[in-house]
Amino acid sequence: MYPVLYAQFIKDKRKPLLVLLFIALSILATLIFGDTSRQTEITVDVFASGSNAEEIEQRWVKLLNDNSETEFVISEEREAREQVREGKRDVAIHLMNNDYRLITASDMPDILLVEQEIHQVFIEEAQLQAIAGSENTTNLREQLKNYLENSPITVQTENINGGKLTSHDMGTQLLFGFTLFIVMFTIGFRVNGINEDKVSGVWNRLILSPVSKINMYVGHLLYSFFIGFIQLVVVFLIFKYALNYEIGSLPMILTIAAVYTMSSVSLAMLIAGIAKTPEKFNMIYPSIVPMIPVISGVYMQPGAMDNPVFNFLADIFPLGYAVDAMMDVALFGAGWSDISLPLSFLLLIGVMYMGIGINLGERGKG
Amino acid sequence: MLETVKLSKSFKGKKVVDEINIYLDAGESVGLLGPNGAGKSTTISMISSLIRPTSGDIKLDGKSTIKDPSEIRKVLGVVPQEIALYEELTAYENLKFFGQTYQVKKDILEGRIQEVLEMVGLKERQKELIKTFSGGMKRRINIAAALLHQPKILILDEPTVGIDPQSRNHILETVRELNKTSGTTVLYTSHYMEEVEQLCKRVYIMDRGKIIASGSKEELLSILSTEDTIQVQLSNRSESLIDTIKSFSNVFQLDETNVGLRIISKKNSNLLSKLVLASEKEGIQIVNYQVEIPSLEDVFLHLTGKTLRD
């Protein structure tokens, strides 16, 4: 087993570029897409028309900015419309005394968010006006604020363990998602070494040697595991200590990473067993792998993927289980018992795919 | 030492090796000759325990190797037809790798690597990557890798396919030396007749999965003892002259070649005088008339009706 493992290492030592490229790609993809999702603040131009335009603008902009995440900026009507027309802004708002109009050129997801925020502010203001019986709601608003500070009933929200409720962080999800997705390529191309050896005749030479077939497989698969796991460790360490990402308990994250790597090696072995030749593997594997994070919902908020077929398909791949477990550890401080179920699924996938893959690879021989 | 008994192999119902019997005595150099697709590689794969025969047996010193191939694997060195090496590794690293897999003891492995490199004439290039080698050099390392554990039987499956004459000579010389000095038993398969003629004392001729002839070179040539092969070059081609020659009672076969006619006739049938008369009648001159010394190629042609490279 050792000579097989060592030979694979020497091969990679001669061509380290691919492994380094995949490590760089993991970091780059997370930084680009992860940070984009973190910077969700949207700027929206607002304007009013008519003789009391300035008054309307001042009144509503203050209320809007005080009560939402979006930044509302007063601008000229012509300029605001121009920005939307040229695609520089997704939406602009035409403010009226007690109403508003959205000016949009495309159906962007941001528009829905902005619309919800504005709607909320206008409804609230309308309710206050109705209670106050006039358009001046400043005093009522102040009274309401004081009342709520000492309200008879207070509602506190906490997580299942009694801690602070953490909001979902897409940046962290993408960090785990991209890293675990890209490592599948590193692993796959190493596992394909088995097919390469079979085609080149090296495998037959090894069969005739005293090295057992089990050791031949173990040599290849163990090396694929190590190279994949090392890549994950390097990426996670860089994010934790160099880029200061909060990824939770490192030993737990690395345990999940190790089990995930093992099941990814098995998945690659299954595809290698089906493909039988390195060329076919290179065709099939890179076609399947990019679909896995999509159907596993890695690029989306939790629960966004509600198609039962996709959900079933996601369940037969290891990525979804690993990302969920890592997110539980990173965001909700999950313990060992909390992650034992996804780890069990990963192990099950690993054992099953490994068995089927090796069996398929060995079939069809005289 | 090694023998196959009614060895057969079928793939999807098609028999590619059909009840062949081969034997190799210790220290012998035996050729397995046949055109592409004759079943040579399948036979070798079965002998070397890489694939299981459909029926028949393989015996090493009288003991069947089918159920437990470990004994035959210990004494066997197989040089596959393909270049079974890691291209990204140097010649030395490849040999070290295969030496380790063959469990050559650490203290003697280094010495063996240098010995086999010397044998194949690539000692000076051992630190270079295989991918930078020519086809011939790769094939020489391919052979070296099979020699590290000092096998008693060396099986070479077309080891000279597609290489330059210099490397080819080197390989033939290496195999000859191994057989002569170390007493290694050699089973050499090829579709190059001249290689087998040079190297092997005994030859098996295989076609369509069957052994169609076997014996020493002399024994095989004696198959043609009743025939002469004559090359004739004429001043002009004449269809009527060809028909006349074909009608001669002692002519068995007539083929047109790029230099003239190739006639297989009964031995000592005095064809020349008849040919002179017939060509004079047609007004055609005989430029060249040559009775060929038969080769194994002729034997193969006689037995199968086709050449080895068909």
| Range in A22-31, A105-114, A162-171, A227-236 the model is least confident about | A162-171
Check CB contact of B100 with chain A, cutoff 8 Å.
yes
């096998």: which residue's tokens?
Answer: B151
**What pLDDT was estimated at residue A323?**
93
A94 to each of A39, A72, A112, A119, B128, how far by Cα in Å?
25, 12, 16, 13, 74
pLDDT-based confidence at residue A41 (cuts at 50, 70, 90): low
Check CB contact of B128 with chain A, cutoff 8 Å.
no
Between residues A34 and A234, the one the model is more confident about: A234
Identify whether A159 is part of a domain: no
pLDDT-based confidence at residue B308 (cuts at 50, 70, 90): low
Other Cβ atoms less than 10 A from the Cβ of B53: the count is 24
Residues A108 and A197 in one domain: no
Interface contact B82-A201, CB threshold 8 A: yes
Q: Does residue A53 have a pLDDT over 50?
A: yes
Distance CA A348, CA A343 (A): 9
List beta partners, residue B304. Answer: none
Which of A280-286's residues contact partners 24+ apart within 8 Å by CB, and which partners?
A281/A188, A281/A192, A281/A195, A282/A192, A285/A188, A285/A192, A286/A185, A286/A188
Backbone angles phi, psi at A70, to 5 degrees: -75, 145
- Chain A residue with CA closest to B79: the answer is A205
Chain A residues with CB under 8 Å of B74 CB are 210
Measured in angstroms, the CA of A205 and the nearest CA of chain B are apart by: 7
Q: Return the SS3 of B237.
A: coil
- Chain B residue with CA closest to A362: the answer is B51
Distance CA A363, CA A351 (A): 19
**What pLDDT was estimated at residue A248?**
86
Check CB contact of A212 with chain B, cutoff 8 Å.
no
| CB-count burial class (<10 Å; 0-12, 13-18, 19+) for B70 | exposed
A74 to each of A51, A64, A65, A92, A111, how far by Cα in Å?
16, 11, 11, 10, 18
Check CB contact of B76 with chain A, cutoff 8 Å.
yes
Residues A325 and A352 in one domain: yes
Per-residue pLDDT tens over the stretch A266-325: 999 999 999 999 999 999 999 999 999 988 888 877 777 777 888 888 899 999 999 999
Q: Determine the residue type at A219.
A: G
The closest CB to that of B86, out of A202, A211, A366, belongs to A202
Interface contact A205-B49, CB threshold 8 A: no
Report the CATH number of the B2-221 domain. Answer: 3.40.50.300
Residues A238 and A292 in one domain: yes
Measured in angstroms, the CA of A264 and the nearest CA of chain B are apart by: 25
Residues A26 and A48 in one domain: no
For residues A252 and A339, the answer to whether their CB atoms sit within 8 Å is yes
User: From the candidates A17, A198, A203, A209, which should be mutated to test the interface with B, based on the most B CB atoms within 10 A?
Assistant: A209
Q: What is the dihedral of CA B300, B302, B303, B305, to 10 degrees?
A: 90
pLDDT-based confidence at residue A350 (cuts at 50, 70, 90): very high
For residues B153 and B75, the answer to whether their CB atoms sit within 8 Å is yes
Interface contact B82-A200, CB threshold 8 A: yes
Residues A183 and A54 in one domain: no
A222: Cβ–Cβ under 8 A, 6 or more apart, which residues? A1, A5
For residues A211 and A197, the answer to whether their CB atoms sit within 8 Å is no
Q: Determine the residue type at B128.
A: E
Distance CA B46, CA B60 (A): 13
Q: Which H or E run includes B21?
A: strand B14-24
| CB-count burial class (<10 Å; 0-12, 13-18, 19+) for B229 | buried
User: From the candidates A199, A208, A363, which should be mutated to test the interface with B, based on the most B CB atoms within 10 A?
Assistant: A208
Check CB contact of B131 with chain A, cutoff 8 Å.
no
Interface contact B50-A200, CB threshold 8 A: no
Q: What is the mean pLDDT of residues A40-48?
A: 82
Distance CA A87, CA A143 (A): 42
- Chain A residue with CA closest to B130: the answer is A11
Identify whether A162 is part of a domain: no
Chain B residues with CB under 8 Å of A200 CB are 82-85
**What pLDDT was estimated at residue B228?**
80
B23: Cβ–Cβ under 8 A, 6 or more apart, which residues? B1, B2, B3, B4
Interface contact A10-B93, CB threshold 8 A: yes
Q: Determine the residue type at A93.
A: I
Interface contact B51-A366, CB threshold 8 A: yes
Q: Determine the residue type at A250.
A: L
Q: Which H or E run includes B8?
A: strand B2-11
> In the structure encoding, which two tokens stand for residue A330, read together?
């990173």
Per-residue pLDDT tens over the stretch B66-90: 888 888 888 999 999 889 999 999 9
pLDDT-based confidence at residue A366 (cuts at 50, 70, 90): very low
| Structural domain boundaries, residue A222 | 2-36+167-362
User: From the candidates B43, B86, B105, B147, which should be mutated to test the interface with A, based on the most A CB atoms within 10 A?
Assistant: B86
Backbone angles phi, psi at A163, to 5 degrees: -90, -175
Q: DSSP state, B144?
A: H
Distance CA A123, CA A138 (A): 16
Chain A contacts in chain B segment 160-199 (CB below 8 A): none
For residues A276 and A331, the answer to whether their CB atoms sit within 8 Å is no
Q: Domain map of chain B by residue range? A: 2-221, 226-294
Q: How many CB pairs under 8 A join A and B?
A: 68
> In the structure encoding, which two tokens stand for residue A225, read together?
């595991």
Distance CA B2, CA B146 (A): 18
Check CB contact of B140 with chain A, cutoff 8 Å.
no
Q: What is the 3-state secondary structure (H, E, C) of B261-294?
A: EEEEEECCCCHHHHHHHHHHHHCCCEEEEEEECC
Chain A residues with CB under 8 Å of B76 CB are 208
Check CB contact of A3 with chain B, cutoff 8 Å.
yes
Residues A351 and A208 in one domain: yes
Interface contact B82-A208, CB threshold 8 A: no
Identify whether A77 is part of a domain: yes
Per-residue pLDDT tens over the stretch A173-211: 888 998 999 999 999 999 999 999 999 999 999 999 888
Other Cβ atoms less than 10 A from the Cβ of B135: the count is 13
Per-residue pLDDT tens over the stretch A78-108: 999 998 888 888 889 999 988 999 998 877 7
Q: Which of A66, A74, A86 is nearest to A49 (CA)?
A: A74
Interface contact A209-B97, CB threshold 8 A: no
A228: Cβ–Cβ under 8 A, 6 or more apart, which residues? A183, A186, A187, A190, A261, A264, A265
Mean pLDDT of chain B: 87
Residues A103 and A117 in one domain: yes
Check CB contact of B86 with chain A, cutoff 8 Å.
yes
- Chain A residue with CA closest to B8: the answer is A366
Interface contact A206-B101, CB threshold 8 A: yes
Residues A29 and A79 in one domain: no
Measured in angstroms, the CA of A11 and the nearest CA of chain B are apart by: 6
């005289």: which residue's tokens?
Answer: A366
**What pLDDT was estimated at residue A169?**
74
Q: Which H or E run includes A340?
A: helix A336-362
* Model ipTM value: 0.77
Per-residue pLDDT tens over the stretch B249-283: 888 888 888 888 888 888 777 788 888 888 888 88
Q: What is the mean pLDDT of residues B117-132?
A: 91
Residues A198 and A333 in one domain: yes
Chain A residues with CB under 8 Å of B82 CB are 200-201
Other Cβ atoms less than 10 A from the Cβ of A170: the count is 18
List beta partners, residue B32. Answer: B189, B204
Distance CA B95, CA A264 (A): 32
Handedness of CA B128, B131, B137, B141 (dihedral sign): positive
Interface contact B51-A15, CB threshold 8 A: no
Residues A107 and A235 in one domain: no
Check CB contact of A7 with chain B, cutoff 8 Å.
yes
**CATH number of B226-294, picked from 3.60.70.12, 3.40.640.10, 3.30.70.3270, 3.30.70.100:** 3.30.70.100
The closest CB to that of B100, out of A3, A208, A365, belongs to A3
Interface contact A209-B98, CB threshold 8 A: yes
Q: Considering its fold, how many domains does chain A have in total?
A: 2
Distance CA B192, CA B148 (A): 26
Chain B contacts in chain A segment 32-71 (CB below 8 A): none
For residues B3 and B21, the answer to whether their CB atoms sit within 8 Å is yes
Identify whether A161 is part of a domain: no
Measured in angstroms, the CA of A188 and the nearest CA of chain B are apart by: 19
